[in-house]
Amino acid sequence: MIEVQHLTKRYGRITAVDDVSFRVERGEILGFLGPNGAGKTTTMRILTGYMPATDGKAIVAGFDVFDQPVEAKRRTGYLPESPPLYPDMSVVEYLDFVARIKAVPSNERRQRVKDVMARTRIDDMANRLTGKLSKGYKQRVGLAQALIHNPDVLILDEPTAGLDPKQIIETRQLIKQLAGDHTIILSTHILPEVSQTCQRVVIINQGHVVAVDTPDNLTARLRGTDTLYVQVDSAGSDATAALTRVPGVTRVAESDRRDGAVGYEVDSERGRDVRRDLARAVVSSGWGLLELRPLRLSLEEAFLAVTKEDMPAAAADSAAPEGGTVQ
Amino acid sequence: MSNIIAIARKELKAYFASPIAYIVIGFWALLYGWFFVFILNIFVRQSMQMGQFGMGPQSVNVNQQMIRPLLQNVTILVLFLMPMVTMRTYAEEKRSGTIELLLTSPVTDFQIIIGKFLGAMALYGVMLAVTLIHIAILFKYGQPEWKPIATMYLGLVLLGGTFISLGLFISSLTKNQIVAGMVTFAVFLLLWIVTWVGSAWGSTAERVTQHLSIIEPLDDFAKGVLDLSHLVYYVSFITFGLFLTAKSVDSERWRG
């Protein structure tokens, strides 16, 4: 559905996007992940026909965005980083205008406006001026605008930026519902978003694609050993040694200590589940078992690891700061 | 075509959704009325004097003595008010990011530019319509000829068109509508007074600047003379302004 081949964009001497290639299949949600200034927005702007690439090719819904821009744009819905609203227009007026310029047939226009307002749940704001809406509603009007002509491809630049947690969850659910009918590219620098909504991730850093994979594979690929987090209380000083004696455990390290409770990070051989033995060992020693959970390498750490591959000076071992940041 | 109309409609609505349309039309109506009363007074005094000299009121021509000077003065108002009409057209879209919506929609740059041009022209049309009230009063109490009035209005429409096309171009160069407005005003003023410099520099310069002047041809329109070269001048000026706008929008794309 979307094919990007060797895309390069230079602004004068600065190269914002350098030889980026990837594909998105029909109905897929692709996460576009990268730190600020990595070239996400530039890539999206090229895909939507907002700006031309210096080099390379982008095909959206079967049309080259540079050679047949009008055809490609007709099949693309785009939500820029800040929703492109006219503050003096009401929500209905605005969506009606967008429907007109997006070539929605005039006899369907009214119905389409109604449909997208229901879908993005903004009907109660229909006659409010878009300039007076809260950030969350503005974002939803922006999403409604991108959906109005029922495009094959949806390109969303940080759709959840600036929303409150409840709105973020709602928006993610909406995006998930839209997949299937629509092919979606979603950019973000929030990692949980990618693991929750996307089937595949493209990680981009300094204009280069550094990884393309599923969120699960990406975390698994970078994880050498399986790690568990164990928190116990009233444990003696021999606890580390006692835990190390559990069969399969390769390393035990104390990670935190709070109000008498001590947390340990326990590494085990790959593919061997030591949780039962570990629990038994704790209980039989007479300690209280407060917590026992797997510590997965979060996408955040995976992300830091792959973006650091470019900079060999920074050792990969520092790429595992706080565990469990992915909710 | 429907895209052009959609954008023109949006532009016109935007003028009336913000205070701009009301301020522009309000000032225009007030100042136009002021000029009207002022020139009417002069005209009435003149015809009374003519009457005293026994030449009868018919010897003063309403078109020549009243409407022509009136509409010439009105062109000054166009100069002052037009930057307010055009300054936001592109600058505001660029500042607020709505330009991203337009440029990623299945419309061509040409359609956007013509749409914006027609939207501004529509507002200008409303302004001109207001002035017809005064002309109607003259028709009620006198017998002016309608043909020179028609050509004069055609001239005014063309003059407005040139200003708008140029203003559109200047607005497309910046994100700041105040800057756009100031520069537009300065350029208009320069085109206005270019003949002054010309007349000081001798006959060749005078001829050149007269051809450049944006108001010089208007006098012929006011006399009721439809000169093809004037029409060509204004139409090519408008086309050139829109062409520059298109180039500016396109180059903005490449620079990002």
Q: How far does the CA of residue A20 sit from the closest CA of chain B (Å)? A: 18
The CB-side HSE value for B152 (13 A sphere, CA atoms) comes to: 24
Sheet of strand A2-11, all strands in order from the earlier edge strand to the far edge: A14-24, A2-11, A55-60, A63-64
Residue of B nearest to A88 (CA): B17
Average predicted confidence (pLDDT) for chain B: 87
Q: Which two tokens stand for residue A180?
A: 């299937």
Is residue A325's pLDDT more than 80?
no
Residue of B nearest to A52 (CA): B254
For residue A198, give the nearest of A24, A18, A2 by alpha carbon: A24
Q: In degrees rounded to 5, what are phi and psi of residue A206?
A: 50, 40
Query: Which pLDDT belongs to residue B183?
Result: 95
Is residue A321's pLDDT more than 50?
no
Query: Which pLDDT belongs to residue A228?
Result: 82
Q: Which residues contact A218 (CB under 8 A, 6 or more apart)?
A: A201, A203, A211, A299, A302, A306
Query: Which pLDDT belongs to residue A327?
Result: 34
Identify the structural domains of chain A with CATH numbers, from first to last: 2-220 (3.40.50.300), 226-295 (3.30.70.3190)
Is residue A105's pLDDT more than 60?
yes
Q: How does pLDDT run across B198-252, given as a tens digit for each residue?
A: 667 777 777 777 777 777 788 888 888 888 988 999 999 999 999 999 999 988 8
Nearest to A100 among B6, B108, B255 (CB): B6
Query: Which pLDDT belongs to residue B211?
Result: 76
CB contact under 8 A, A50 and B253: yes
| 3-state SS class at A295 | strand
Nearest to B103 among A50, A81, A102 (CB): A50
Query: Which pLDDT belongs to residue A319?
Result: 38
Query: Which pLDDT belongs to residue A320?
Result: 38
Partner B contacted by A37 (CB < 8 A): no
Give the whole-angstrom CA distance, residue B195 versus residue B73. Answer: 17
Whether A47 and B103 have beta carbons less than 8 Å apart is answered as no
Q: In one letter, which amino acid is B63?
A: N
What is the rounded average pLDDT of the residues A215-236?
Answer: 73
Q: What is the ipTM of this complex?
A: 0.86
Q: Which residues contact A135 (CB under 8 A, 6 or more apart)?
A: A162, A163
Question: Could you give the number of structural domains in chain B?
Answer: 1
What is the rounded average pLDDT of the residues B153-163?
Answer: 92
Residues of B in contact with A207 (CB under 8 A): none
Q: Which two tokens stand for residue A137?
A: 């509603």
Q: Which residues contact B231 (CB under 8 A, 6 or more apart)?
A: B158
pTM for this predicted structure? 0.83
Q: Count Cβ–Cβ pairs < 8 Å, chain A vs chain B.
A: 76
Whether A58 and A64 have beta carbons less than 8 Å apart is answered as yes
Residue bearing tokens 């492109």: A84
Q: How does pLDDT run across B19-65, given as a tens digit for each residue?
A: 889 999 999 999 999 998 998 898 888 888 877 776 655 556 777 77
Nearest to A80 among B6, B100, B255 (CB): B100
Is residue A315's pLDDT more than 60?
no
Residues of B in contact with A98 (CB under 8 A): 101, 105
| Separation of CA A127 from chain center | 33
| Residue A247 pLDDT class (50, 70, 90 cuts) | confident
The span from the first CA to the last CA of chain B, in angstroms, equals 28
H or E element, residue B50: helix B20-52
Residues of A in contact with B9 (CB under 8 A): 97
Structural domain of B123: 2-255
Partner B contacted by A198 (CB < 8 A): no
Query: Which pLDDT belongs to residue A322?
Result: 38
Q: In degrees rounded to 5, what are phi and psi of residue A45?
A: -65, -35
Query: Which pLDDT belongs to residue B57?
Result: 54
Residues of B in contact with A81 (CB under 8 A): 97
